[in-house]
Structure 1
Amino acid sequence: MFAPTQHDVRRFFCETFRKERAGEPLTPLEAIASDWISQHPEYHGDLADAEAAVAASFEVEEGRTNPFLHLAMHLSISEQTGVDQPRGIRQATDLLSRRLGSLHEAHHEVMECLGQMLWTSQRSGLPPDGEAYIDCVRRRATR
């Protein structure tokens, strides 16, 4: 199982951004990441300097979104829907995307559910509850 460190994740996104700008070939995973990076130009400055990115601190109290966490969640949701794991996440995300008229905005809604599931799991010490996650996405899709 691959378990990247925070620095690995940050370097991955910075390198993907660099390669895209240089017109270099991207791996399939980098191509997905690059699509999300292109939809977040507000993060391009953070992605342009890998060393600064590795050293940066994105504290909630500062009011800044962590671009690497945000992009990693987009990537995770893309992977989850691609393989429909947990089962039902593809259909729930598709439904939400149709309701909102935007896959990007749907991902942002799904992120809220994903974050809630992970927070609950960390607090309780129990495994993540995939059914609760999908139910959360479905509720957002049908409100």
Structure 2
Amino acid sequence: MFNPSQQDVRRFFCETFQKMRENGILTPLETIAADWIGQHPEYHDDLADTERALEANYAVDQGKTNPFLHLSMHLSISEQISIDQPRGVKAAFFALANRFGNEHDAHHEMMEALGQMIWTSQRSGLPPDGQAYMDDLARRARG
């Protein structure tokens, strides 16, 4: 199983951003990441300096979103949708996209549900509850 460190993730996004700026050749995963990076210009300064990015602290009390976590969640959700895992997540995504009128906002709504599932798992010490995640997505899709 692939288990990158925080440093690995930050390097991946910074290097992808650098390749984007230089019109470099991207791997398939970098291509997906580049699309999300392009949709989040507010993160470009964070991605422009790898060494600064490796040292940056995005504590909750600072009130600044961690761009690497945010982009990683976009990648994770993109993968979930592409393989429909957990089963039904693709339909939930399209229902959310229909509700919000665009796929980006649907992703952000899914991030809320995914984040809630992870937070609950961490607090309880239990494995992530995929059914609770799907139930949350269904509720969000209904509005």
TM-score by length of 1: 0.98
Q: Secondary structure at the match of 1:65?
A: coil
The answer to whether residue 55 in structure 2 is matched with residue 19 in structure 1 is no
1:135 CA drift (Å):
1.1
Give the SS at the match of 2:25: coil
Alignment of 1:36-55 (within 5 A): 36-55=36-55
Secondary structure at 1:43 match in 2: helix
* Cα distance between partner residues in 2 of 1:64 and 1:52: 15
Shift of 1:140: 0.8
Match of residue 133 from structure 2: 133
Q: What pairs up with 1:28-67 in 2 under 5 angstroms?
A: 28-67=28-67
Q: Please list every run of 5 or more consecutive structure 1 residues that lacks an aligned counterpart in the other structure.
A: none
Identity %: 66
RMSD across aligned positions (CA): 0.6
Paired residue secondary structure (2:65): coil
Residue equivalent to 1:123? 123
Distance 2:115 2:102 in 1: 20
How many residues in Structure 1 have an aligned counterpart in Structure 2? 143
Structure 2, unmatched stretches of 5+, are none
Which residue of the partner structure matches residue 71 of structure 2?
71
* Aligned partner letter, 2:124: S
Aligned to 2:112: 112
Quote the residue 1:5 is aligned against. Answer: 5
Distance 2:101 2:25 in 1: 31
Q: Secondary structure at the match of 2:61?
A: helix
Amino acid at match of 2:43: Y
Q: Which amino acid is 1:34 matched to?
A: A
Match of 1:90 in 2: 90
Q: Which amino acid aligns with 1:85?
A: Q
- Residue 80 of structure 1 is matched in structure 2 by 80
- Deviation of 1:131 (Å): 0.9
Off by >3 Å, runs of 4+ in structure 1: none
Cα distance, 1:98 vs structure 2 = 1.0
C-alpha displacement at 1:9, in angstroms?
Answer: 0.2
How far, CA to CA, are the matches of 1:87 and 1:121 in structure 2? 20
